[in-house]
Structure 1
Amino acid sequence: MAATSSSQQNVLTATEVKEGWKLLFDGKTLDGWHLFQHPDAKPSWIVQDGTITVDLRTSGVQHGDLTSDAEFENYELAFEWKTTVDGNSGVFINVQENPENQLAWQTGPEYQLLGPEHIDNKKPAKNPGCLYGYSAQLTQTSVHEQGQWNQSVIKQNNGEVAFYLNGNLTAKVDLGSQEWKDWVSQSNFKSFADFGKATKGHIVLQEWTSPVAFRNIKIKEL
């Protein structure tokens, strides 16, 4: 996905509309989003300069992950993001928002987002664009320098998931496969009964320990 010019952020082209793309972020408000498990709270997430970003220092707000109001099953999701030089965040898919799971990562596999100097860049299965913890990048791909926007795509169809970073395929998994089930059973997520089982759920932006910004978040249901 090519980056668009500054005058074309958070809008769809006529071709994209015809193809069925929809914006998940209008560039002005957090309409369509809420804080995970706290739908009525004032979130730490704000809209700033046409981006969704998180203010880690503000008091009087509820901190947590930003969650799409809608759930999605078969789709192509595209978004741009950037973080600090050693930043760490993620995008969770198929998240189940229920009383049994108080944190998004307890059910949703994560598309890893990292700054170029974060220590996890030295851990192959935790590199940017990876399905966190699952495997190394399928195609070795670096994030751009601090301040530059990265382009990411997540595709899911009937439980088959593919992650792309800056135009390259970086992760692929079949959530219904025995390989995936075996990995979960031996991973740090094994104690969470619902982790990685759903093929439909919320899309969630992670608030972690560093600033992160998103723009041009759009989805096409398949």
Structure 2
Amino acid sequence: MNRTFNKCLWLWALMPVFIFSCTTDTNNCLSRKEKEQGWVLLFDGSSASGWHLYNKKNTTAGWIVKDQALAVDTVKKTEVNDLVSDKTYTNFDLQFEWKLAKNGNSGVFINVQERPDLTTAWASGPEYQLLDPAHADNAIPVKKAGTLFALDAQKTPAAAKPAGEWNLSRIKQVNGKIEFYLNGVLTVQEDLTAPAWQDSVRHTHFKNFPEFGKHTSGHIALQDWASGVAFRNIKIREL
């Protein structure tokens, strides 16, 4: 067997590694270890499959895939439409990257109930706040990025990156107990089953929405906001 043939065999053997392995430079891809651990992609980098508009089945109008990211179409969209996962989740570990336009303000909702009488995702789902640090609301503790919007301020200070840069966030829920992380820092711990939680809700404008924060299972929703938001590397592991 000559040297050239040996080299060809060696390259052929390595080919599956190059083709099927995720690298640190690859987005919207799971490693073999992540798959074994039960992680599933909620965005494949090329389509909005697995998502639909809130209370509007079979459409994702207003959202586009751009540069391997799931983004609001700020050019063509004519109305605000949050994007909702087709599946519902109870106990889970959700991780995602996000970036905003200048002065951007958006969010990710959990435990969303999709019903005709609930006109918006935030009428039922608590929100992980996404905010450009240059936004005026950044001066309000319960409206910074990584907070439970309008309810829980950051328990440990964590800074969001400026507009146009990617942030890493994580939401974990087990039996109604939630944890929020921003760029690796634990920012919120809350128990949605505790009387103290409902008491907190009663002191906010959410008191006017009887389904808000009452559920520990539901859809995940990405908030559509006029200034533009993009998501990538959205993955979830059911616990």
The answer to whether the 8 A contact 2:143-2:149 is kept is yes
Give me the whole-angstrom Cα distance separating, in 2, the residues matched to 1:62 and 1:83.
Answer: 18
SS of residue matched to 2:178: strand
The answer on 1:159 being equivalent to 2:193 is: no
1:103-131 Cα offsets, whole Å, 9 max, x none, are: 00000000000012011100001110000
Partner of 1:219: 236
SS of 1:220 mapped into structure 2: strand
Alignment partner of 2:37 out of 11, 14, 19: 19
CA contact (8 A) 2:51 2:60 kept: no
TM-score, structure 2 normalization: 0.88
- Residue 13 of structure 2 corresponds to none
Correspondent of 1:140 among 157, 161, 177: 157
Q: Give the Cα separation in 2 of the matches to 1:194 and 1:13.
A: 38
Query: 1:43–1:62: 8 Å Cα contact kept in structure 2?
Result: no
Name the CA shift for 1:32/1:197 in 2 (closer, same or farther; >3 Å).
Answer: same
User: Which of the two has greater helix per residue?
Assistant: 2
* Identical positions, percent: 49
Q: Distance in 2 between matches of 1:166 and 1:44?
A: 28
Match of 1:130 in 2: 147
Q: 1:62: how far off? A: 5.6
1:186 aligns with 2:203: yes
The two structures, once aligned, show a CA RMSD in angstroms of: 1.5
Distance in 1 (alpha carbons) for counterparts of 2:49 and 2:29: 15
Pair 1:52 & 2:78 matched:
no
C-alpha separation in 2, matches of 1:143 and 1:26: 25
| 1:195-221 deviation per Cα after TM superposition (whole angstroms, max 9, x unaligned) | 001100000000122111100000000
Match of 1:33 in 2: 51
- Distance in 1 between residues matched to 2:184 and 2:60, nearest whole Å: 35
Structure 2 residue identity aligned to 1:203: I
Counterpart amino acid of residue 16 in structure 1: E
Which runs of 5 or more residues in structure 2 are unaligned? 1-21
Q: CA separation in 2, counterparts of 1:126 and 1:69?
A: 28
Match for residue 174 of structure 1? 191
Higher RCO (CA < 8 A, seq sep 6+): 1
8 Å CA contact retained: 2:60, 2:83: no
Give me the whole-angstrom Cα distance separating, in 2, the residues matched to 1:135 and 1:30: 31
Contact 1:74 1:158 in 2 (8 A): yes
Shift of 1:175: 0.2
| TM-score normalised by length of structure 1 | 0.94
Alignment gaps of 5+ in structure 1: none
Shift of 1:42: 4.9
Cα distance, 1:43 vs. partner?
1.0
Shift of 1:5: 6.7
Aligned residues: 218
